[in-house]
Structure 1
Amino acid sequence: MANVVEASSQQQFEDLLNRAGSLLSVVHFSAPWAPQCEQMSGVLEELAKEHPQVTFVKLEAEAVPEVSEKYEISSVPTFLFFKSGGKIDRLDGAHAPELTKKVQRLASSAAQPAGAGGPPKVDLNERLRRLINAAPCMLFIKGSAQEPRCGFSRQMVQILKDHSIQFSSFDILSDEEVRQGLKTYSNWPTYPQVYVNGDLVGGLDIVKVRAVITELAVLSLKSLINKNPVMLFMKGNKEGAKCGFSRQILEILNNEGQGLKTYSNWPTYPQLYVKGELIGGLDIMKVRVL
């Protein structure tokens, strides 16, 4: 009997899963035109020798479209993992080390008798909550921030980088339980997903809109800063300052003129700009005068 069984129909595929029962089944969705599939077939053959209790199935994705559509197979190679006829995990791409680790882990847990010792399984919702709150900005994508594995994920990463937003990411292709569970947890059916301080911001379309709004706001501020050679942002106006600091900086400008050129990230008011560059506030102006 072959170590890896080929399934050429939906019925044959389902029969193989049923026969495996509660033991692990690994299904390789492949295509004859993809060289990486041939490479992973060799890896699967070796794994089949090491794990005779596991059922290994090879299925040509385009030849059995009803199965591929059911399990959202959009690229090859893709590996699905089953127990008792239900999908428990997924791996997209030609990642031999990751495939080996998943088979070893899942085959071991399948062989463990019910009630055996081991750490208690963390509730899925609690696990999702921890992941979402793992960083102030969490991005759930296909692949990694360094190597996004779909166009939408790639665009999302680029938007965050373009706006200098620090973020952490989680590869949903590495954990099928997280991939499916997060859709229900957040009531958001697609990926990528962005969370800020534990709250869902949304997907790519939402982030694109927010990014455009941010760009417009920045352009508006730049235009305002450059409206005149010298721009002072203060409380009140030249005729009536609304705070002591603003009043003093007006007096300094009126008495001492212009010429400050130092740029600083200044968080308080008043603020003085010269030719579009921030000079500083009252303390800086006092020092310059003295």
Structure 2
Amino acid sequence: MTRVTDIKSSQEFSELLLANGRTLLVIHFYASWAPQCGQMDKVLEELTQEQPQAHFARLEAEALPEISQKYGISAVPSILFFKSGQELERLDGADAAQLTHRVARLISVPAPSGTSSQVGPAVSQLGPEELNARLKKLIDSAPCMLFMKGTPQEPRCGFSRQIIDILNKHGVRFGSFDILMDESVRQGLKTYSKWPTYPQVYVNGEMIGGLDIVKEMAESGELSEVCPKGEKLEDRLQALINKAPVMLFMKGTAQGPKCGFSRTTIDILNETGVTYETFDILQDEEVRQGLKTYSKWPTYPQLYVKGELIGGLDIIKELKESEELSEVLNAKN
């Protein structure tokens, strides 16, 4: 019997986009705590029987934040429709009738041409000037910026793994971008930098080079002089956590949350009237990844009171429902 596929990793997501080719692929971005997502899951299960020519899958938005961020998932449920690796349409909110209607209509829509062999997310349709502007913004997003295959925690090629080891050994503080998650960046940066391979390292917006050059600079001592040094990550995380009595690590800001989970958390905190500060983990990949290990808490948002982890949205909601939240937030003495 056909079933809804559960996507558990970025690799599974990329493989699913590739494997389905011109078949309509319907992906439900959901949250386990949201009852409306459970309702949409039931609709998808029914559609697997009614529309066997389509493929249905679901992805927990908070568990795979890199994918949710790329596709602009700011609330759940959100349902995206793909063919040949390209997003055709999206449906935000729990609308069973509209979902059923769109599946029936999009099954017969021709697949976009020229993308059936693409691996990973679709190539964005940016013009040359727009793409160059985006590349420059990415390059300038950290004093030392590494474009690599995979992440610092999970490099996906030997060259990327080696360069991570070198940068860490020399205490270099750097940001990173996984070029496997965005084909437009992967191809466009080769032309932009006139450098055909990865990884690529930039310092203060200027191209330094790839693995061979970084190795040479490390051996000569030049790497430590050129690249910005960072304080120990653990010390930096402790300082951030203790920056305010109530500290929230989230996606976006209190004025502009960038995911539904963060937005709900902000709404709850605002209801209590407590004073708090926030940190946008989308602006700092080192903090985003490092805090997961430091706190042993794999998702965001994360709430801390007097330097102690309270938890994420589920726990915050439980504390609110039990009327313990205000007491916990005001435990500053």
Query: TM-score scaled by structure 1?
Result: 0.37
The normalised TM-score by structure 2 is 0.33
Greater C-alpha Rg:
1
